[in-house]
């Protein structure tokens, strides 16, 4: 786990990691949320609606931004204030993803960073989510 101080976190700093979405993640996310929506749980329904197979929960994919902020940038001293995400492509089970963030703004008065975030799929290099996180850096 990184543990950057606010002083080390300059504009342009980037961090990333890779993760593969699994059946187990889908089952655990369903267990937490009880989101039984068929787009995520019923292969036939998803295909009927024009998707290749059941679609990974957008909020599951977005949860990797929790890891990005809490482990990588800023890491240990992180407190998430605000997020905004756009889901640009469906994600499927088995997809290999690269989760990345780059510091875009830095507000010294309140020790707050705006991080541009993005998740790309390895197989077709498509961006599946993009957005911003606003995070505080604890003392």
> Using CB under 8 A as the criterion, which residues of the chain lie in contact with its own copies when the complex forms?
1, 24-25, 28-29, 31-40, 49, 57-60, 62-67, 70-71, 75-76, 78-87, 138
Helix (H, G, I), strand (E, B) or coil at 48: helix
Shortest Cβ distance from residue 11 to its own copies (Å)?
22
Find tokens 């989510």 and name the residue: 129
CA angle 86, 119, 123 (to 5 degrees): 120
Q: Which of residues 49 and 94 has its CB atom nearest to its own copies in the complex?
A: 49
Q: Which of residues 12 and 33 has its CB atom nearest to its own copies in the complex?
A: 33
Q: Which residue in 95, 99, 136 sits closest to 116, CA to CA?
A: 99
Shortest Cβ distance from residue 67 to its own copies (Å)?
4
Structure tokens at 61: 């994919």
């Amino acid at each position: 786990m990184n543990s950057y101080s606010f002083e080390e976190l300059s504009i342009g700093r980037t961090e990333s990691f890779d993760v593969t979405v699994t059946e187990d993640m889908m089952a655990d996310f369903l267990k937490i949320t009880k989101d039984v929506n068929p787009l995520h749980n019923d292969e036939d329904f998803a295909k009927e609606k024009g998707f290749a197979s059941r679609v990974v929960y957008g909020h599951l994919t977005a949860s990797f931004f929790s890891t990005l902020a809490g482990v990588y940038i800023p890491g240990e001293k992180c407190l998430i204030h605000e997020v905004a995400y756009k889901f640009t492509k469906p994600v499927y089970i088995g997809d290999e993803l690269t989760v990345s963030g780059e510091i875009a703004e830095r507000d010294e008065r309140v020790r707050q960073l705006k991080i541009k975030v993005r998740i790309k799929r390895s197989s077709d290099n498509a961006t599946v989510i993009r957005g911003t996180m606003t995070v505080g850096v604890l003392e």
